[in-house]
Amino acid sequence: MAAPIDIRRFTGFRALTILCLVVLYAPLVIVAIYSFNDSTSITRWGGLSFKWYFDVFSGPEAPKFRAAAINSFTIALGAATCATTIATAAAVAMHRTGRFRGKTASLALINLPLMVPEIVTAVASLIFFISIGFKTGVMTIFIAHLVFCIPFAYLPISARMQSIPDSYEQAAMDLYATPWEAFRLVLLPLMVPGILSGFLLAFIISLDDFLITNFVKGAGIETLPTAIFGSVKQGVKPNIMAISTLLLGVSVVLVTLSWFVGRAGQSKR
Amino acid sequence: MAGAAPGGASRSEIYRGNGPRLMLPIWVFIGIFLVMPVVMMAVHSFLTKEFRGGVIWEFTFAAYDQFFFDRGLFGDEPPKIEWTYIGIFWRSIWQAGLATVFSLLIGFPTAWFIATRKPNVRPGWLFLITIPYWVNLLIRTVSMKFLIRDTGPLNEFLLWSGVISEPLSLVNTNFAVQLGLFYSYLPFMVLPVYAAVERYDFSLSEAAADLYSDNWTTLRLVILPVVKPGIVAGCILVFVPSLGAFLAPDLLGGAKTFMIGSLIEEQFKGAAGNWPFGAAAAMILLAIVLGVLLLHAHAQTRVER
Amino acid sequence: MNRTDIAIDIDRVVNRYDSVTALHDVSMDIREGEFFTLLGPSGCGKTTLLRCIAGFEDVTEGAIRLRGEDIAPLPPHKRPVNTVFQQYALFPHMTVLENVCFGLRRRGWTEMDAEGRAREVLDLVRLGDFAKRRPTQLSGGQQQRVALARSLAPNPEVLLLDEPLSALDLKLRQAVRVELKQIQRETGIAFVFVTHDQEEALTMSDRIAVMSEGYVQQIGTPRDIYEAPQNRFVADFIGETNLLDVEVSAVSGGMPDLTLPGGMALRCPAADSARAGRGHLSVRPERISVAAAAEDTLPATVVDHVYLGTDIHLHAKLSDGEPILVRIQNAESSAIPATGSMLGLRIEAGAARLLVD
């Protein structure tokens, strides 16, 4: 008896999926492997070694990377915190306050940073800061990051809020909670997974940005991506692979965290 | 009764009257630090350039004139169409388009494959696809360059296995740029297509099979038309950032593969320093992108009606 | 109108959202300690009215007076009424005890007092042992009781219940009905109960308000509503009924004289506003008896029958082709009339009711 035809199966789709994953992961895996290469030649394998990691933390370029890392993480922390707060307020306005003038325009505004090409945002920000006489530096990077982090923080927060029926807050108000108490005691605790997930995504996006940062950073100020870019202009050196692998690890850990937080939130309800 | 209203906004009014107040930070930050800058960029594109960066506040069309017309070395010849910059834009559109096509050819089967797995393993597969997107784009592009260099691991592997006898010269080619773009934005294709395929009603395929259609015919006549909105969304999400991409063409390409991103960057960061011209090029890019997005939005509302 | 036994006085309330009017001039009184039900099909405005009382919908026009005080302008958290929500809306991040304490704490009770009161109410709903559980760890029936306890704890002046049984399965629903009614009697609090289930309404309520399309159709005791419907909607919505076109020749002393399609004459009770002319006669299927065709019966032809165990439904046709449903008890002696056979139907004067639209 012939097997029934599976309407969901197409020959080759599995192979293409595997190809897709190989293309996505091969460069990252290879660089991670080579960052442990003992040899100075970046293509010959000379045995397992951590020396490039020591180089990152104590080699000649260590102070530069340390300063860049501090800038990167400080800016990411600040931008993600502010963006998350702003996005939470916006999500409440969007999902819990009925209609008001400018609601549709507000939604468009939230998504605007996703629609304007990065290079255009970069150029526009540079022109803006220079024209108003704002000195480019950490502050300008922070502001620019804050703006493009907002939609990334907004997406999971808004999705979560939409999935929480407002009957919880209605029940709270029915039980004599003021609107502010209903928000603080009921909605906010239920929002935690969405807010955390939004914060982590905003943090990663800020940590990853190169193009806009490169335009608004000002002379002498570096973040990790701009420092790395400056170094690879002279060729890919093994210490860059080590620092890339570290940064890659941070991103993967944060995204995984965000994913599990989001899932935990889903399964709880 | 708090049902979901169109536009994703719920009708809930539990904190009624607070909307504008809560939305204020959005208007302040995105309004001042994104809308205003874009407006100022538009203004700058009509100003006179100052050598070594900056502008002189004199109104002129010089930047756009320089973009579209060639008036000879001293600017006194009758204007001819200047093909250099239009060419760069055209090449960018072509490169971004090819990257989009490749993404679709690989992304659709991937999305389909994931959507037909058991429901409990699908999130895991999707997560696997999205992780690379969250890894620093610069690092990913540098990694790709490292992998495909003349003396990189890919060539070494191919030489060692005897597939080739001479190293493939991949860096600085159009192919490398397309590969870089494809690699950068592939997750953007998979996710919306997946969302569409996941909602696809498989009994449609059964009905088609019942009416003598084989799987590939069903794909062409039933599945693709039904999931088309997801495919279009995916194509836009890959095409738009590819068009203005900077890192992939800059690191993986060379002079021959110069794209819009590098052209604009050069006006501000490079020695050529011509701010009004850079602003004008950015305006043209923005116009193309917004045009694509508006066209899409228009088509979508027409479908919904 | 200031009777002291009125808990809630709903006075010509209109609710409008955009251009949709959900409530048209709705008026009713809910008495102290009574089990009052708002009954109607979905979209009839019953939930909107309940939410108007709770404060979640606007009262566009009119007033809602709680013991004489107009509460329509007050926000929900300032109204001394509590609601049992349809899906219960138990706070998932709090324990059962914390849920029940929530309202008490908001009213300024100390933690200790609140906990004491909460345990008391949890005992009332027989959930004393579940205080430390999370709502998600409870069964549907237990969640329903937590919701009830939570809204009873602050001792509201009126308890509002928005289809609280609809999420339970049939067996459980029947048990909970009895329990709910018992708790209502013990606490003496007026319950306003919203449902679309007429059986639920008939078995539990002291009085019922039947609503349709934003209008109140009739207010009365379950018996009034079933036996003396005021209009076609009520007769049709509550239970099964036959609506026959009749000719009314005269109305005297509230009792009209009318002629049935087959020419049979009848004198029966009528809705208050019955007048001479054309009208509709409502006859419940179980109040028709089957006899041999005779002078004083309504002639009908059997079309089909449906066997229902305790009863048998006879589908028949009157002489003018109008269908009529007759319900006969499945007794040992009753033979099922064959399809196509002629019957005489007997309608007692007290069993039928003349309606106006």
pLDDT: which is higher, B150 or A268 = B150
- β-bridge pairing C277-283 and C265-267: unpaired
Of C56, C90, C150, the CB nearest to A170: C56
- pLDDT, one tens digit per residue, over C71-100 is 999 999 999 999 999 889 999 999 999 999
Structure tokens at C286: 């179980």
Structure tokens at B95: 């490169």
Helix axes B122-134, B83-115, angle to 10 degrees: 150
* Number of domains chain A is built from: 1
User: Under 8 Å CB-to-CB from B178, ≥6 apart: which residues?
Assistant: B95, B98, B99, B102
DSSP characters over chain B: --PBPGGG-B---TTTT-HHHHHHHHHHHHIIIIIHHHHHHHHHTTEEE-TTS-EEEEE-SHHHHHHHEE--TTS-SPPEE-HHHHHHHHHHHHHHHHHHHHHHHHHHHHHHHHHTS-TTTHHHHHHHHHHHHHS-HHHHHHHHHHHHSTTSHHHHHHHHHTS-SS----TTSHHHHHHHHHHHHHHHHHHHHHHHHHH--THHHHHHHHTT--HHHHIIIIIHHHHHHHHHHHHHHHHHHHHT--HHHHHH--GGG--HHHHHHHHHHSTT--HHHHHHHHHHHHHHHHHHHHHHHHHHHHHH-
Report the 10 Å Cβ neighbour count for C128: 12
Q: How confident is the model at residue A269 (pLDDT cuts 50, 70, 90)?
A: very low
Kindly report the CATH number assigned to the domain that includes residue C340: 2.40.50.140
Name the phi and psi angles at B153, rounded to 5.
-55, -35
Structure tokens at A179: 């609107």
Highest mean pLDDT pick, A57-66, A159-168, B65-74, C152-161: C152-161
Rounded to whole angstroms, the Cα distance separating B103 from B84 reads: 28
- pLDDT, one tens digit per residue, over C111-165 is 999 999 999 999 999 999 999 999 999 999 999 999 999 999 999 999 999 999 9
With 0-12 CB in 10 A as exposed, 13-18 as middle and 19+ as buried, what is B124?
exposed
Asked if residues C351 and C287 have their Cβ atoms less than 8 Å apart, the reply is: yes
Does residue A18 sit in helix, strand or coil? helix
User: Which of A78-92, C193-207, C298-312, C335-349 shows the lowest mean pLDDT across its residues?
Assistant: C335-349
Residues C213 and C273 grouped into a single domain: no
Query: H/E/C letters for each residue in chain A?
Result: CCCCCCCCCCCCHHHHHHHHHHHHHHHHHHHHHHCCECCCCCCCCCCECCHHHHHHHHCCCHHHHHHHHHHHHHHHHHHHHHHHHHHHHHHHHHHHCCCCCCHHHHHHHHHHHHHCCHHHHHHHHHHHHHHCCCCCCHHHHHHHHHHHHHHHHHHHHHHHHHHCCCHHHHHHHHCCCCHHHHHHHHHHHHHHHHHHHHHHHHHHHHHHCCHHHHHHCCCCCCCHHHHHHHHHCCCCCHHHHHHHHHHHHHHHHHHHHHHHHHHHHHHHC
CA distance C219 to chain A (A): 27
Q: Do C89 and A168 touch (CB under 8 A)?
A: yes
Number of inter-chain CB pairs under 8 A, A vs C? 65
> Which pLDDT score, from 0 to 100, does residue A5 have?
66
> Which pLDDT score, from 0 to 100, does residue A42 have?
60
Q: Do B12 and A166 touch (CB under 8 A)?
A: yes
Name the phi and psi angles at A237, rounded to 5.
-100, 155
**H or E stretch including C352?**
strand C352-355
Residues C215 and C250 grouped into a single domain: no
Residues C200 and C79 grouped into a single domain: yes
- C103 belongs to a structural domain: yes
Is the CB of B202 inside 8 Å of chain A's CB atoms?
yes
- Which of C57, C74, C102 to mutate: most A Cβ within 10 Å? C102
- A37 belongs to a structural domain: no
**CB-CB neighbors (< 8 A) of C82 in chain A:** 174-175
Cα B137 versus chain centre, distance: 13
CA distance A7 to chain B (A): 6
Place of tokens 């269908």: C323
Does residue A166 sit in helix, strand or coil? coil
Place of tokens 């005080």: C69
- A1 belongs to a structural domain: no
Query: H/E/C letters for each residue in B165-228?
Result: CCCCCCCCCHHHHHHHHHHHHHHHHHHHHHHHHHHCCCHHHHHHHHCCCCHHHHHHHHHHHHHH
> Which pLDDT score, from 0 to 100, does residue C278 have?
83
Is the CB of A174 inside 8 Å of chain C's CB atoms?
yes
Residues C202 and C348 grouped into a single domain: no
> Which pLDDT score, from 0 to 100, does residue A2 have?
53
Rounded to whole angstroms, the Cα distance separating C10 from C244 reads: 35
Share of chain A above pLDDT 70, in %: 94
pLDDT: which is higher, C59 or C334 = C59
Cα C246 versus chain centre, distance: 28
Q: How confident is the model at residue B272 (pLDDT cuts 50, 70, 90)?
A: low
Asked if residues B292 and B235 have their Cβ atoms less than 8 Å apart, the reply is: no
Rounded to whole angstroms, the Cα distance separating B98 from B92 reads: 10
Rounded to whole angstroms, the Cα distance separating A126 from B55 reads: 13
Q: Do C91 and A179 touch (CB under 8 A)?
A: no
Is the CB of B268 inside 8 Å of chain A's CB atoms?
yes
Structure tokens at A98: 């009925």
Does residue A61 sit in helix, strand or coil? coil
Rounded to whole angstroms, the Cα distance separating B152 from B182 reads: 20
> Per residue in C205-227, is it b (16+ CB within 10 Å) or e — as a string?
bbbbbbbbebebbbbbebeebbb
**H or E stretch including C242?**
strand C242-252
Q: Is C88 left (phi over 0), alpha (psi -120 to 50) or beta?
A: left
Residues C50 and C142 grouped into a single domain: yes
The residue among C227, C255, C286 that closes a domain is: C227
User: What is the dotted CATH code of the domain comprising B84-273?
Assistant: 1.10.3720.10
Rounded to whole angstroms, the Cα distance separating A8 from B226 reads: 15
- A71 belongs to a structural domain: yes
Rounded to whole angstroms, the Cα distance separating A56 from A66 reads: 9
Residues C210 and C255 grouped into a single domain: no
* Residue numbers of the domain that contains C271: 241-355
Place of tokens 């610069």: B138
Rounded to whole angstroms, the Cα distance separating A166 from A157 reads: 15
Q: Do B138 and A228 touch (CB under 8 A)?
A: yes
- Which of B29, B135, B277, B301 to mutate: most A Cβ within 10 Å? B135
Q: Mean pLDDT in chain B?
A: 86
Q: How confident is the model at residue C334 (pLDDT cuts 50, 70, 90)?
A: low
**CB-CB neighbors (< 8 A) of A269 in chain C:** 92
What is the pLDDT averaged over residues C275-279? 80
What is the pLDDT averaged over residues B178-187? 89
Place of tokens 């004599």: A176
The C-alpha R_g of chain C, in whole angstroms, comes to 25
> Which pLDDT score, from 0 to 100, does residue B70 have?
82
Residues C222 and C287 grouped into a single domain: no
- C234 belongs to a structural domain: no
Is the CB of B175 inside 8 Å of chain A's CB atoms?
no
Is the CB of B110 inside 8 Å of chain A's CB atoms?
yes
The full length of chain A comes to 269
- C164 belongs to a structural domain: yes
Of the candidates C182, C199, C134, C187, which has an alpha carbon nearest to the alpha carbon of residue C159?
C187
> Which pLDDT score, from 0 to 100, does residue C190 have?
95
Cα B257 versus chain centre, distance: 17
**CB-CB neighbors (< 8 A) of A163 in chain C:** none
Q: How confident is the model at residue B151 (pLDDT cuts 50, 70, 90)?
A: confident
Residue B11 has pLDDT above 80, yes or no: no
- pLDDT, one tens digit per residue, over B35-56 is 999 999 999 999 888 877 778 8
Q: Which amino acid is at C321?
A: G
- C1 belongs to a structural domain: no
Q: Do A173 and C76 touch (CB under 8 A)?
A: yes
User: Under 8 Å CB-to-CB from B64, ≥6 apart: which residues?
Assistant: B45, B280
State the virtual CA torsion across C336, C337, C338, C340 in degrees, nearest 10: -150
Residue C33 has pLDDT above 90, yes or no: yes
Of the candidates B272, B256, B281, which has an alpha carbon nearest to the alpha carbon of residue B51?
B272
What is the pLDDT averaged over residues C291-306? 83
Q: How confident is the model at residue B156 (pLDDT cuts 50, 70, 90)?
A: confident
Residue intervals of chain B classified under CATH 1.10.3720.10 are 84-273
Residue A268 has pLDDT above 50, yes or no: no
* Number of domains chain C is built from: 2
Rounded to whole angstroms, the Cα distance separating A149 from A138 reads: 16
Helices (H) and strands (E) in chain A, counts: 12, 0
What is the pLDDT averaged over residues A127-132? 91
**Half-sphere exposure (Cβ direction) of C247: Cα atoms closer than 13 Å:** 8
What is the pLDDT averaged over residues C1-11? 80
- C235 belongs to a structural domain: no
Rounded to whole angstroms, the Cα distance separating A142 from A205 reads: 12
Of C54, C92, C93, the CB nearest to A174: C54
Is the CB of A186 inside 8 Å of chain C's CB atoms?
yes
Q: Which amino acid is at C54?
A: A
- A105 belongs to a structural domain: yes
Does residue B132 sit in helix, strand or coil? helix
- β-bridge pairing C242-252 and C255-259: antiparallel
Considering only alpha carbons, which residue of chain B is nearest residue A130? B54
Kindly report the CATH number assigned to the domain that includes residue A180: 1.10.3720.10
> Which pLDDT score, from 0 to 100, does residue A50 have?
81
**CB-CB neighbors (< 8 A) of C150 in chain A:** 171, 175
The C-alpha R_g of chain A, in whole angstroms, comes to 23
- β-bridge pairing C255-259 and C311-318: unpaired
Q: Which amino acid is at B152?
A: G
Number of inter-chain CB pairs under 8 A, A vs B? 303
- C232 belongs to a structural domain: no
With 0-12 CB in 10 A as exposed, 13-18 as middle and 19+ as buried, what is A2?
exposed
**Half-sphere exposure (Cβ direction) of C46: Cα atoms closer than 13 Å:** 27
ipTM of the complex: 0.86
> Which pLDDT score, from 0 to 100, does residue C105 have?
94
Residues C51 and C88 grouped into a single domain: yes
